[in-house]
Chains A and B, each alone.
Chain A
Amino acid sequence: MNKICHRFYGGMLLSQEKWLNKMAAQGWRLIRTKKLLYEFEPCEPNQFEYRVEFIGEKSPKNAQDYASFLEDCGYRVFYKNINLNYSVGKMVIRPWAEKGGRISTSTTTLNRELLVVEKQRDGLPFELHTTYQDKLAYYRKLQRPWLYFFFSFGMVGLFLQHWTLAAVGSVALIPVLLYQITIYRLKKLAWQQEQ
């Protein structure tokens, strides 16, 4: 019998990944995702493992191309939303995205900002990004939307002396700092390996 869970992780990619891997360790394989819903079917414990990747900066064409590439590599992919957005016909401007992805609509990349990637366990490590250069680029990509959020709300709030707006914007500094720490650690590791 299938299991349905309702969860919302928002931008907490690692927590979502850990939970999916915990479910897989208990013998549950992901078969469907919706905004708040995850549906699982029974499988062998630890038969599958998951990674959650942010693709919100990609253009619709590149996001589809990347998902197809992962499928060609033998993985199963599920799209997932990073925000809770129930509006129809909404348009979002993403200045931090790549060319072609800066205007996101509900028919393109809106509510499809994450990819849940499933791999059948084969004893080999499962990492989507393996070089320091690529990992750094990925974490910078993750940091950018939060930086924009901080500048657009936090700085405008400070400028207008609208303290609620400034406080909301300042919350974005937490993920900015956390990603900056990861970037710093990766740079240090890359430097140590070069020595």
Chain B
Amino acid sequence: MSIALLGINHRSAPLSIRERLSISCGEEGKPFEELKKIPQIGEVLYLSTCNRVEVLVNMDDTDAGVEGLKAFITAHGNLSPEEMNKCLYVYRDEEAVRHLFRVTSSLDSMVMGEPQILGQVKDAYQLCVKQKASGVILNKLLHHAFRVAKRVRTETAIANNAVSVSFAAVELAKKIFGALGGKRALIVGAGEMAELAARHLMDNGVDRMIFTNRTYENAVRLANDFQGLPVEFELIDEKLGEVDIVISSTGSPDCIISEDMIAGALRRRKNRLLFLIDVAVPRDIDPAAGEIDNVYLYNIDDLQGIVDQNTQGRLKEAHKAQSIIDEEVAKFSGWYATLEVVPTIVDLKGKAEEIVKGEMERSHSWMKNLGDEERGNIEVLVNSVVNKILHDPVVGLKRESRNGGADPYVAAIKKLFRLK
């Protein structure tokens, strides 16, 4: 019985291979049917996200089982043997546990610390339970992994600061305005970055989005997507007085929003704080506008700078997370190691119970003269003597198994007590 983990991820395999594999395994339940056909496999968890495809198994014969899994992956990804050897990683036992803990704690993610992966592993586990593909070991292992992920999240700052430009913009907005509920945003121009930032702002409570574009139709299209309000490009100046956040990303070669426009808008808005985000290159907003009191101007380089700082910070936190994971792997391994002596302990206790039962039956002839209470007391007495005698050997076996040297003791007990 042993744990193994096979898979490919964004580091080991190019997108084209990951795509092939995750599409072919896409249908719910399908991979489970095939995986369960591999004879050595007892329990199996199948995880597929955009960045990884992994199979976690508990199986009897490791080598044969791994070969079976490799065949499964080769067939599904339509991979050549060279491709597979290059891309596929195989972890066993403690290394498999460590890898799983790293994945759920988001240390192995493309964007380290991103929160989605934990949810994805939880979904995968739910599916595995639904398919009745999990057992004692995987249940314990996955629950342990979720606990580790939570510990890493609360005890390190790995997920604290935004590591994408659009998230950084939202965090800044929160630093300025507190909660974003009831705030308004003006989106000037279109572009992936602006749309992403708009999406994040809306998810965080900004409830009124105004879109404008030199081509009015584009503003209307975006406004429809976001349930916002399209306005004519010429009305920017007027709208600056009303909104709290401006995101600008036009292809214009010159500044669109001048210092004077901002200064004027600020008078009209009675100095309410204004947050300007200029993601355009070349810039849309006159840098001098950022010098005005109560105006905060960030351009794309500023945002990128924050993201870089935060990424650095996460790398530092990753070391802390790593030592938490080491600690937890040791804990799990301790529990896992005691499993090898569990059958012996069960047999031993079973034998003792049988002896007690047999002897009680044999004494039936003279015990029937006793009252119910006295018979009960005798039974309790006999059981507690047996349990006391067995207690030390059982604890000793578990201790030896944690230290990795239980084999001779198991053999001795089996021989002395004549267990099967």
Q: Do A and B bind each other?
A: no
Residues of A within 8 A of B (CB): none
